[in-house]
A and B are shown apart, each in its own frame.
Chain A
Amino acid sequence: MKFLISLAFKNLTRYKRRTLITAGAIAFGLMMYIFIDSMLAGAEIESVRNLKWFETASARILNDEYWENRFQKPLDLSISNPDRIIQTLENNGIRATKRIVFSGDLILNADDFGEDGNLAATITAIDPVRDFRVFGFGTTLIEGRFLEPGEDAVLLGSWFAEDIGAEVGYWITFVTRGNGGFYEAMDLEVVGILNCPNPNVNRALLMMPISTADEYLDMDGAVTEINVALPDNADVPMEVERIQEMLNGDNLTVMSWEAMAVDYLALAEAKRGGTSTILFLIFIIAAVGISNTMLMAIFERIRELGMMRSLGMSDTKIRLAFMIEAAGIGIIGSAMGIVLGILANLYLVNVGIDYGFLLRDMDIGYRLQAIFRGVWNPGTMIKAFFIGVIISTLVAWFPTKRALKMDIPACLRHQ
């Protein structure tokens, strides 16, 4: 065995350039694997964070029938005693905030916006005191100020404000139907603009104080949802169950963020699957390269092979010798790939890639506004290293098998 290893590694130095080129193909495949895995993992981690901080919270309490009818945003399928529930949750160490979500038409006035117009929009009415304890909007203000309870004011997402040409100090009119079906129009002053990292939110965000909405919509203290923040390391399904038990008998349901973001999770899974296919193809190309290199190496040394077989070296040992040699290429290539992957990942983790130009107008599913940052994943690197070495080793089996099919005199005669 010692001899076989020594022979295999000495043979690697025989055609240095070819060894390096083949190792380079593996290195490129591995680098891509590490880079893309890091980028996707980073995008998923940040997307989940942005989902929870700006869209779904960790969990949400809703009227039993609300989720099925959520696209109509019904005000009558509400939670009638939110403050009592929030108090109960807080007594159990759980942060929570209430919201009213309703839709209607946004009327734009020519005085401010240059021309008259209207568009369908959704307003989220928040508790200006508690909301920032559950959601992450506290650090996103880029212009103006936050909301104050009871005022006729609205905050806009920066992309939404840009799209409609709104600025702080402008007035908008929002026409909607109140609880019971009556029409209501509310004039709201834009008091601030938020730059939310979640593009889906930033593209359509309108926020107003819940007390103002309660009055306009005649909610009588009812809300459409209570959002709950759980620690990052919390066992969400267990916490959801625990909250559900606290609400027993209230005709309310608790949904985890995963249940609400099921579309996003399916999309992320599909993207991961698609990317894995591409990476698999990269590895196949590298594997074909190695196989070809080994085929050339074997057939260039076919007389040596004949000699070794003549002297009584078994086919198994010969196969092993070539597979060790291929493993050597795999080790060199994988080591190079890991180094290149780390270098590429250093940039990805610290600087990231700005896809803002793409994400501004296109929804690709990820809750990222512009910059894709990577994460360090040593497990992936170890896995990539072993995949590189194992693939290299295995693909040498085919050309060796082919060479061993030749009879020994033919090997010895080979020119």
Chain B
Amino acid sequence: MIKVDNVVRNYHAGETVVKALRGVSLEIKKGEFLSIAGPSGSGKTTLLNLIGCIDQMDGGEISIKDEVISTMKKKEKTNFRRNNLGFIFQTYNLIPVLTAYENVAFVLSLLNLPEREVKDRTMAILKEVGLEGMEHRRPSRLSGGQQQRVAIARALVKNPEIILADEPTANLDSDTGREILELMKTMNEKHKTTFIFSTHDKMVMEFASRLVMLHDGQIQSDEKR
């Protein structure tokens, strides 16, 4: 489903060139619950960003569902992300002036769906992530775990085939982090959504059905569990 082929990404800091990814190759199948792990600076977020079509690679090729994303234009990438990808961020990135309901419905509004459908799907997904009755709360009135549940609902509501999560539990305590991972795992099993998340948290790695370890921009190990 996802094919990463010899991907290279360099960052330039003045005259210094930082090699974030040095020829990474990887294949990810539909429905996998995959963790990209490694120490800080190993390139895991960079790889996630490249798969998520929000960064530009310097070499190699990535294709998703047989579409080569590395050659896509900016507008095509935007459309691709809108229709196929969901994102979960470490800091949730909810819009503080919107309610939980509006934060989730926002994604569907981008797809120009009928209002009735937006409402039904948003309410259903909020119920599924355990936020029934909290639809009208703004993020400031939700706990960290609840905010991340809203973010998960936001990622899932459009039924994407792939969800990319960058350190989704890093801002949560271990109990809440476990709850969030269990929720993500449940959603992965229920919806057959492919989850790819970056982490350096051991607990998160334990949850993964496949663990790809990165070190200095290269794959150190790739093990299925």
Contacts and interface: CB of A to CB of B under 8 A. Distances in A.
A and B are partners in one complex rather than unrelated chains? yes
Interface in B76-112: 78-83, 85-87, 89, 91, 93, 95-98, 102, 105-107, 109-110
Contacts of B109: 2-3
Contacts of B56: 407
Contact of B49 (A313, A314, A409): A409
Contacts of A304: 93, 95
Nearest to B90: A412
Contacts of B79: 312
B110 to A, nearest CB: 6
Contacts of B80: 312
A407 B80 CA distance: 17
Contacts of B72: none
A238 interface: no
A309 B78 contact: yes
Interface of A: 2-3, 6-7, 10-11, 13-14, 303-304, 306-307, 309-315, 317, 407-409, 412
A3 B81 contact: no
B67 interface: no
B18 interface: no
B75 interface: yes
B52 interface: yes
25 contacts: A2-B109, A3-B105, A3-B106, A6-B102, A7-B97, A7-B106, A11-B97, A14-B96, A304-B93, A304-B95, A307-B93, A309-B54, A310-B54, A311-B86, A311-B110, A312-B82, A312-B83, A313-B82, A315-B78, A407-B54, A408-B54, A408-B55, A409-B45, A412-B54, A412-B93
SS of A interface (majority): helix
Interface of B: 45, 49, 52, 54-56, 75, 78-83, 85-87, 89, 91, 93, 95-98, 102, 105-107, 109-110, 154, 166
Q: Identify which of A306, A311, A314 gathers the most chain B CB atoms within 10 Å of its CB.
A: A311
B161 to A, nearest CB: 14
Given A14-B97, A409-B54, A307 B78 contact: no
A307 B97 contact: no
A3 B106 CA distance: 7
Contacts of A311: 81-82, 86-87, 106-107, 110, 154
A312 B81 contact: yes
A407 B55 contact: yes
Contacts of A10: 97-98
A3 B107 CA distance: 10
Nearest to B54: A408
A32 B49 CA distance: 51
Contacts of A14: 96-97
A304 B92 CA distance: 10
A312 B110 contact: yes
A69 to B, nearest CB: 75
A37 B49 CA distance: 56
Nearest to A4: B109
Contacts of B106: 3, 7, 311
B167 to A, nearest CB: 12
A179 to B, nearest CB: 86
A317 B106 CA distance: 12
B96 A303 contact: no
A6 B115 CA distance: 15
Contacts of A409: 45, 49, 54-55
B91 A303 contact: yes
Contacts of B89: 307, 412
Nearest to A10: B97
Nearest to B103: A307
B93 A303 contact: yes
B110 A313 contact: yes
